[in-house]
Structure 1
Amino acid sequence: MDSSFKEQSVKIDDRTVAYLERPASKTAAKTVVFVHGWMDNAASFHALFPLIEQHALDWRVIAIDLPGHGHSSHKSEHHFYNFHDYVDDLHRILVKLHAVDVCLVGHSLGALIASCYSAAFPEKVSCLVQIEAHIPLSESPQLSPERLRKGIESRERWRNKTTKSIPSKQDAIAMRERATKLPTEAVLPIVERDLRQLGDKWVWRHDSKLKCESVYRMSEPQALAIMEAVTVPHLIILGQRGYAYLQRPECLQPLRSAQIEMVEGDHHCHLESPEQVFELILGRVNKN
């Protein structure tokens, strides 16, 4: 991890939100806030950090560990991770950190959180960059009873589940390599931030409740209304080998006001083509 990024934390009620920060040299500088994807953490953007430093950019840069991820606190055992609560969490974090002239850069889940926040609070966001995600997940309202049932059943399975340890750090790395299709050097910082040792065993830091299924999902009209409300300058970056549905014409058609760019890579294309992704982000942030 680049040494110019310092480990920080902020209290949100009884919880701690961890983040990495590169402070700016002047108070009026732009604030670029990185929001990672599901089951990742602030280190998901590690390949971009040296590029920010090399360009001597006068940005205040913040990379958040979302609640339940990385070094941030878990929610209590009675509270789960509903999507809209992440938007509330992001709002409270930005207020606590006195972030001004904010450009949100989100990957996957983080990109969806960032788009919803930009739609609800356009006066607080100067630009939006989404990596490998765009329109919030949606489904037919007719599926609501089934989703509710599956979500509650998944919570019940979690309540009856025991925590499993990992035999070695190398096993943890191999698990992330299989899940992300990334090489060791790309996943290592993410794994190291999400791993702690207990005796001769290793355990994940992230909250196992993150794997519980959602009990609610927006309808398509609701999701499209969110994107129509995004009025800030908007960049979408997709990996050429990323999620295919994100590239379908019917999915891209409602995003006419966004700049859409393709780069080499899979779902974590910002780790596979960091220079190209960085240049796109740099161009978008510096236009504002």
Structure 2
Amino acid sequence: MSVVFEEVRLSLPHIEVAAHLYGHENGQPVIALHGWLDNAATFSRLAPLLDGLRIVALDLPGHGHSEHRPRGAAYNLWDYAHDVLQTAEQFGWQRFSLLGHSMGAIVAVLLAGAMPERVERLALIDGVIPFTGEAEGAPQKLGEALRALLKVEKKRKPVYATFEQAVAARMKGVGAVSWEAAELLAQRGLMPVPGGYTWRTDPRLMLPSPLRLSLAHAQAFIQAVACPTSLVLAEQGLLVDADLRERVHALPFELHHLAGGHHLHLDDQAGAAAVAAVFNPFFAAAAS
């Protein structure tokens, strides 16, 4: 697959991040946010199919070629929202749209709800609501996170003897993907080490969350979203739980059900084309 993009590094006030740039510089400004443990390559099939956009596909901190957060810092969803906002500032974008997959979609919703004056449109792929937790479980969750944090320095990332072994492992990871999709993610996500290859991702990304938003918190962010929003739901994706589906269908968003798994936009070209067929008219409406 031949993809035309520009590789850039952005020196934000608090961290340096990497990104892929797609489209003409005068296109509609869009920041694209990948899922947990993925990277900017997740948009390598979809981004070239989206018309009239200037897409900044980020490697979020701790992922891909972006820097890891310093010791003592965390990878909370709201921290990513700050990264996105600083990226927009770097490009001088007072208004911009967000294209998000999975965790990236959740971050997009949080930012759009918190700062509706900055976000023009939301295009979401198989993600919208974070895992929630209620008050009674908060002490246990924080305890689990703190115990894991004490042990993280002793953990070693897996080393794969060959690139192909790493690709095979990614196929079976969270949100199982096709070989082609895993290969694209691995090409950006792996680095050579003695004995083979390991992932560039920060091991702290695997730590349990110290605190989760309550369902009431999550719903408040959803209700605060003021911009047009289009949500693609994968028929074999991660949002298949009956209660969760019912909650998603009650959202005030434009919903589209498409065949495919959680990474339908990356698994094959047909899935990417199906998602593009949804999002192209959605973004075109902003330009009309």
- Normalization by structure 1: what TM-score? 0.91
Residues 1:168 and 2:162 are matched in the alignment: yes
Q: 1:183-237: per-residue Cα shift (whole Å, max 9, x none)?
A: 2112211111011113442121111110001000011111100000011001111
2:210 equivalent among 209, 212, 215: 215
Shift of 1:104: 0.6
Residues 1:19 and 2:14 are matched in the alignment: no
Residues 1:280 and 2:278 are matched in the alignment: yes
Residues 1:151 and 2:145 are matched in the alignment: yes
Task: State the partner residue of 1:132.
Answer: 126
Task: State the partner residue of 2:55.
Answer: 61
Task: State the partner residue of 1:5.
Answer: 5
Shift of 1:62: 1.1
Q: 1:232-271: per-residue Cα shift (whole Å, max 9, x none)?
A: 001111100112137745312540x210111011111222
Residues 1:242 and 2:240 are matched in the alignment: no
Q: 2: distance between equivalents of 1:40 and 1:221?
A: 28
Percentage identity across aligned positions? 28
Task: State the partner residue of 1:195.
Answer: 190
Q: CA RMSD in A?
A: 1.8
Residue ranges of structure 2 left out of the alignment (5+ in a row): none
Shift of 1:135: 2.1
Q: 2: distance between equivalents of 1:226 and 1:233?
A: 14
Q: 1: distance between equivalents of 2:202 and 2:245?
A: 36
Asked if structure 1 preserves the Cα contact closer than 8 Å seen for 2:168 and 2:182, the reply is no
Q: 1: distance between equivalents of 2:274 and 2:265?
A: 8
Q: Letter of the 1:184 partner, please give it.
A: W
Give the aligned length. Answer: 281
Deviant stretches of 4+, over 6 Å: none
- Normalization by structure 2: what TM-score? 0.91
Q: 2: distance between equivalents of 1:92 and 1:129?
A: 20
Residues 1:251 and 2:247 are matched in the alignment: yes
Asked if structure 1 preserves the Cα contact closer than 8 Å seen for 2:231 and 2:253, the reply is yes
Q: Letter of the 1:22 partner, please give it.
A: Y
Moved more, 245-254 or 130-139: 245-254
Q: 1: distance between equivalents of 2:241 and 2:163?
A: 34
Asked if structure 2 preserves the Cα contact closer than 8 Å seen for 1:31 and 1:100, the reply is no
Q: Letter of the 1:16 partner, please give it.
A: E
Moved more, 196-205 or 268-277: 196-205
Question: Residue 284 and residue 100 in structure 1: after superposition, are their counterparts in 2 closer, same or farther (change >3 A)?
Answer: farther
The DSSP-based 3-state class of the residue aligned with 1:285 is: helix
Task: State the partner residue of 1:70.
Answer: 64
Question: Residue 192 and residue 148 in structure 1: after superposition, are their counterparts in 2 closer, same or farther (change >3 A)?
Answer: same
Q: 1: distance between equivalents of 2:153 and 2:144?
A: 14
Q: 1: distance between equivalents of 2:130 and 2:39?
A: 20
Task: State the partner residue of 1:115.
Answer: 109
The DSSP-based 3-state class of the residue aligned with 2:216 is: helix
Q: 2: distance between equivalents of 1:19 and 1:156?
A: 32
Moved more, 136-145 or 17-26: 17-26
Moved more, 42-51 or 202-211: 42-51
Q: 2: distance between equivalents of 1:199 and 1:217?
A: 38
1:49 equivalent among 27, 44, 47: 47
Residue ranges of structure 1 left out of the alignment (5+ in a row): none
Task: State the partner residue of 1:228.
Answer: 223
Task: State the partner residue of 1:98.
Answer: 92
Q: 1:105-157: per-residue Cα shift (whole Å, max 9, x none)?
A: 10010000000111111121111011111123212111100110111112122
Asked if structure 2 preserves the Cα contact closer than 8 Å seen for 1:8 and 1:21, the reply is yes
The DSSP-based 3-state class of the residue aligned with 1:123 is: coil
The DSSP-based 3-state class of the residue aligned with 1:66 is: coil
Q: 1: distance between equivalents of 2:160 and 2:233?
A: 33
